[in-house]
Amino acid sequence: MGQQHPDRPIWQLGFTGNAIVGIPFVGKQLYPGFSGQSLGNNASYIGTNANTQILRDNTFNYYDNLTWQRGRHFLSIGGQATRYQQNYLNASNFGFLGTFSYTGAFTSNANVSTGGGGYGPADFVLDRVYNNQIGSTVGIVGNRQWRVAGYIQDDFKASSRLTLNLGLRYEFDQPWYEVHNRTANVLPDGTVEYAGSVPAGAVAGSIVCPTRACYNANYKQFMPRLGFAYQAASKFVVRGGYGATSFFEGNAFNQRLTSSPPFALGSNVTAAVPTGTTSGTPFTIEEGFAQQFTPTTTYSTWPQNMQPAYVNEYSLTTEYAFTPELSLTAGYLGESGHHLADYRNGNQLTLAQAITIAQGGTAVAPYASLVGQGGILLITESEADMNYNAGQLTLRQRTHRGLEYTLNYTYSKSLTNSAGNYGVPNTSGSDGSYQDGYNGRADWGPSGMDIHHNLNFIGVYDVPFGRGRTFGSGASSVVDGVFGGWKLSASAFLYSGFPITINGPNNSNTNSYGQARANQYRKLIVRNRSINNWWGTDPSAAGCTGPDNGVCAYGVAYNNGLPAFGTTRINTERAPGYRQVDMSLFKDFHVWREQVLGFRADFFNIFNIVSYGNPDNGVTDSNFGQISGVRSPPRQIQLSLHYAF
C-alpha cells in the first residue's frame, strides 16, 4: 500500500447481519432430564402455524464511518442503523413443547402426615405425571425495532503536551412494536389500550393506542463526550474525561407489552393426588398434555413516557513512570445513573389502605376494574437511580529481568435503589422491586454488589536459570532441559464482604412485590463473631418478635398489630469477605525443531483458604446469623501436557 495522505478522508461503508433460524419440529420430542423433582422437555420456536414453527431472530447492521486527519485535528464521523427482528413465545413462561413435572406425590404415603414424602424420579419411572404445562401458538409474537445513531468526534492536538477529545453521539431507539399488533398497555386511569384494534375479550371500555407501540418515543438520547490527556512532565501524565451513555434496558418477556390478555395463553394442569381414601389420578406421558388454555391474568404496563437509562461517567487519573518498566496509576472513577428500570404491583394498596382494612374498613386497589376482571397489574418503570465512586491504584511492572505483574486496589462505594430485574444473587436485600412500591427512596442504600475494598494481583516470573540466562548459562543440555526455562505465575483475589439486608416477615399486607424488611431500632453490636453466629453473641443480635425491648438491634416490622413496613435500610450489614490465591508452573520442552511438548501444573486456591457464604438474614429465623455454605472452591491441582508440531 502507498503512503496515506494526512489530509485525505477515509470512508468505510459496511453492512452486517445475522440470523438464527430453527428447524421445524415434527412429532413429539422429549428431552428427559432431572431438575430437582421435575423433569421435562423444553423448547421454543417461532412460525406461522402449529405444524411448522420456526424461530427467526435477525439483527441487521448498516453503518458508514469517516475518519479525517487535518492538521492537528483527527475527526471521526459516522452513522449506523440497526434493525431488530425478535420473535419469541410469550405464554406464561410455558414452553411451546411443554413440561412434565414429577414431585413424588404418587409414591408418597398419603396416610402419614409427616415423613411420608415420595420421590420425584420414582414417579417418573412409574409414569405418574403430577403437572403439565404448555404454551399456545397464540403467544407467539414478533417485536420489531429500528435503532439509528450518529456521532462526531474530534481528537485535537492542542499542544505537544495537551490533547483534547470532544464528541457527541445521538441515538434514537424506535419504540418496539409487534408485527400483528399484539400489544396492550394500561393508562394511569385504568383504561386498557390496544394497538391497531380492540380484540375480542378485552376489558370493557378499552381503546386503541394512538401509536403502534402503545408508548411514546424518546428523542433525548444525546450523549456528549469530553476528555483530555496532559503530559505535565516527562514521566507524569494526567488524564480525565466525561461521557454519557443512554440505552433501553432489557426485561423479562412477561414484562413486555405483548404479555397482557388476551395475547398470551398457557395451560397449567395439576393432577388429582392421592389422599387417605383415594389413589389419585396421575397424568401419563402417553396421554400427552391435558391442555386447558386460559389467558394470562397479568396486565403489563409501561408509562407512556418510558425513559431510557442515562448513565454519566467521569474520571480523573494520573500516571507516573518510576522507570521505563515500572509505573503507578492513581485515579478517581465515578458514575451516576438515572431512569433505571424498576417494577412494582400497580394494584398494591397503600399502607393507609391496608391499615383501614385491618381495622374493618374497606379500600379499593388503584386499578380495581382490572382486579374485577381477574387481573393484576405489573408496572415496569424507569424511576430508579444509582451512584458509584471509586479510588483506584494500579502498580504495573512490565517485563524486567523476567518479572512482570499488575497490582490493583480499589476503594469504592456503590449506592442504588434498584437491584435490577432479577435481584442480586449475593444478597437477599432486594428482589428487584421496592418494599413499598410507592416509596422507592426508602430502598436507597449500598447496592448488592458494593465492595469497599478490592485487591487483585497477577504476575509471571520467568525463572532466570538455564542457557542464556543469569544463572546456569553454562549448564549442560540435560540440566537445561530439566531445570531451565520454567515460568511461575500467580494470581490473588481479595475483597471485603458483600452487603446484607436484615429481612423480616411481610407485615404490610399491601400486596407489594418487594422483599419485606425488619425494623431497625439501634446499631448492631458484634461481639464473639463466629461462623455459627455471624452477628455475634451481644444481646443486640437477638431479634425482637414484638415491639422494641430496648436492647435488640432488629425486629419484625411492628405497629401495634396493624400493617407496617420495616424501617431497616437496604444492606446495613456485611457478609464475610473473599480470598483466593492461584498459582501455575509451566515449561515448554523443545523435542525436535518446531515440535514442542508443554507441561503445566495449576494450583487453584493453593493455600486452601475458606471463604464463607452469606449468613442467614431473616430476623425471626431460628438460625439467624448462621453460615451454612462456602463460596470458595477447595484446593485443586491440575496437571496437563500439550504437544505442538
Residue 585, pLDDT score = 96
Least confident segment among 33-37, 288-292, 394-398: 33-37
Q: What is the distance between the terminal CA atoms of the chain, rounded to a whole angstrom?
A: 34
pLDDT surpasses 80 at 279: yes
**pTM to 2 decimals?**
0.83
Closest by alpha carbon to 452, among 491, 410, 416, 490?
A: 410
Enumerate the H helices of 303-448 as residue ranges. Answer: 351-358, 368-372
DSSP annotation of 389 = E
Integer-rounded Cα Rg, in Å, for the chain is 31
Residue 465 DSSP symbol: B
Residue 435 has pLDDT above 60, yes or no: yes
**Is the bond into 262 cis (omega within 30 degrees of 0)?**
yes
Contact 557, 567 (CB under 8 A): yes
Average pLDDT over residues 348-375: 84
Mean pLDDT of the residues in the chain = 86
> φ, ψ for residue 399 (rounded to 5)?
-50, 120
pLDDT of residue 8: 42
For residues 245 and 519, give the distance between their C-alpha atoms in angstroms, rounded to a whole number. 38
Residues in the chain, how many?
645
d(CA 363, CA 370): 15
Residue 424 pLDDT class (50, 70, 90 cuts): confident
DSSP secondary structure letter of residue 356: H
Q: Which ranges in 336-444 belong to alpha helices (H)?
A: 351-358, 368-372
Whether the predicted pLDDT of 383 surpasses 60:
yes
Segment 463-502, tens digit of pLDDT: 988 877 778 777 887 887 788 889 999 999 999 999 999 9
Task: Give every CB contact of residue 419 below 8 A, 6+ residues apart in sequence.
Answer: 429, 430, 431, 432, 447, 448
pLDDT band (50, 70, 90) for residue 13 = very low
pLDDT band for position 10 (cuts 50, 70, 90): very low
Q: How far is CA 498 from the centre of its chain?
A: 16
pLDDT at 113: 59
Closest CA to 329 of 261, 275, 397: 397
**Residue 21, pLDDT score:** 36
Q: Which among 376, 372, 368 has a CA at the least distance from the CA of 299?
A: 376
pLDDT tens digits for range 511-569 = 998 889 999 999 999 999 999 999 999 999 999 999 999 999 999 999 999 999 999 99
Q: Which residues contact 437 (CB under 8 A, 6 or more apart)?
A: 344, 345, 348, 379, 512, 513, 514
Residue type at 371 in one-letter notation: V
Dist. CA 403–CA 488, nearest whole Å:
10
For residue 261, say if its preceding peptide bond is cis, omega within 30 degrees of 0: no
**Is residue 202 very low, low, confident or very high in pLDDT (cuts 50, 70, 90)?**
confident
In this prediction, residue 92 carries a pLDDT of 65
Cα–Cα dist 340/388, whole Å: 14
Q: What is the pLDDT of residues 560-617, one digit of tens each?
A: 999 999 999 999 999 999 999 999 999 988 888 888 899 999 999 999 999 999 999 9
